[in-house]
Amino acid sequence: MAEKEGGAKKPALSRTVKDKWRSKHWYRIRAPGLFQHSELGETAANEPEQVIGRNVELTLPEIAGSTDAGKAHVKLRFQIERIGGDGVAEARFVGHDLTSDYVRRLARRKRSKIDSSILVTTKDGVQIILKPVAVGEQRLQTRLRAELRHRIVEILTEEAKLRTSPEFVNEMLQGDLAKVLAHGVKSLYPLKKIEIRRSVVLGTIPDEIAVPSAEPAPEGTPPAEVVAAGDDTPAE
């Protein structure tokens, strides 16, 4: 008898799940003007309010519509902040990450890895947390690592002050900012590689310019300050 009762409940459960999905609506997700209002995908919800705050992640080639895998290690993060009048979920850019595999390949055995975390303020008052990573060809002395970290912080602070947030983000994602850092520390030590491995945007970036393609490029507060010192121990 118990088995019959259990068997009778299964169809009811199936109908409940089916009805639940039928009541959901699909919302297209649109990127901000900084990324040419590209479509990021779709998400389902019973009510529009349930969509707000959801996160979306894509690689730079995916959003730029490029088949070049040269920037596939750059992951962009977006967060839905409102539903537009046309029923489309509008998302804002909240930061980026480099894939963990890519970062691990940078710091191989017998190389020094210099991590930092810094809060910068752009020309238009947008705050961005940056986490650069620098790798030396060999193991570096503690004093030299400290000098390199200090110089990297200085360069990022000044570059942010000279550029609007869309300009700064564009240069960061296309790799131009890493080139500026490499050139700026060259007099101290020619590092093997410098990358901005992570960024976190505090606030909303104005839609002034659009990130071009994935091809390599030929609320204001006091001045930026170091948020936390990084781990600069030699890579294992």
Burial class (CB in 10 A: 0-12, 13-18, 19+), 3: exposed
CATH 3.30.479.30 domain position(s) in the chain: 100-229
> Alpha-carbon distance 127 to 131, whole Å?
13
pLDDT of residue 16: 53
> Alpha-carbon distance 89 to 217, whole Å?
30
- Of 112-116, 149-153, 230-234, the range with the highest mean pLDDT is 149-153
Closest CA to 185 of 157, 159, 153, 216: 153
C-beta of residue 169 within 8 angstroms of C-beta of residue 93: yes
Q: Is 7 left (phi over 0), alpha (psi -120 to 50) or beta?
A: alpha
Element (H, E) at 184: helix 176-185
C-beta of residue 66 within 8 angstroms of C-beta of residue 125: no
How sure is the predictor about 84, in pLDDT bands with cuts at 50, 70 and 90? confident
Q: Is 197 left (phi over 0), alpha (psi -120 to 50) or beta?
A: alpha
pTM as predicted: 0.77
Dihedral angle over CA of 72, 224, 152, 145, nearest 10? -110
Give the model confidence (pLDDT) of 19-55 as tens digits: 566 678 899 999 999 999 999 999 988 888 889 999 9
CATH number of 100-229: 3.30.479.30
First-to-last C-alpha distance (Å) of the chain: 63
Give the model confidence (pLDDT) of 176-221 as tens digits: 999 999 999 998 888 888 999 999 999 889 876 555 554 444 444 3
> Alpha-carbon distance 119 to 84, whole Å?
31
